[in-house]
Amino acid sequence: MPYREKRVEKLYYQIGEVAEMFSESVSTIRFWEKEFDVLRPKKNNKGNRLFMQEDIKNLRLIYHLLRERGMTLDGARKYLKNNREETDYRLDIADTLRNIRAMLVDIRDEIK
């Protein structure tokens, strides 16, 4: 099996980095912050938003509900409020399956 370095995870991410992770605009991330109370990034003395891993996880859930499942803002808000654990679980399973698929594709490409 090929060697893969562990991805380096930072303690804080700036809003531009977060927007790039999700291929969204900075203004969209700010908008989601206002709309979803689970997003509460820290702010430094200058007022710059600093997102922690928990914020990134919450953003991933929001992105999944809005962009991948096509929910409305109200629908996503209610779904997160009522089905938070189930949503976390399903998203973890989907991420694991994507990672396994990517690994299998890499193995297939190496064999060719």
User: Per the domain annotation, does 25 fall within a domain?
Assistant: yes
pLDDT above 90: residue 35: yes
Does residue 104 form part of some domain? no
Phi, psi of 25 (to 5 degrees): -80, 160
pLDDT at 1: 43
pTM: 0.73
82: pLDDT confidence band, cut at 50, 70 and 90?
Answer: confident
The answer to whether position 31 is within a domain reads yes
Asked if the structure places residue 88 within a domain, the reply is no
How far apart are alpha carbons 49 and 16 in whole angstroms? 10
- Angle at which helix 73-82 crosses helix 53-63, to 10 degrees, equals 120
- What is the extent of the structural domain holding 58? 13-81
Summary mean pLDDT of the chain: 87
Tokens of 54: 């928990």
Answer whether residue 52 is part of any domain: yes
Query: Rg of the Cα trace of the chain?
Result: 16
Answer yes or no: is 8 within a domain: no
Indicate the pLDDT class of residue 5, thresholds 50, 70 and 90: low
Higher pLDDT, 93 or 112: 93
**Spatial separation of the C-alpha atoms in residues 112 and 97, rounded to whole Å:** 23
CATH of the domain at 59: 1.10.1660.10
Residue 54, in any domain of the structure: yes
Number of structural domains (the chain) is: 1
pLDDT at 25 over 80: yes
Q: Average pLDDT in the 60-83 region? A: 90
pLDDT tens across 102-111, in order? 999 999 999 8
CB atoms within 10 A of CB 8: 5
Q: Does some domain include residue 61? A: yes
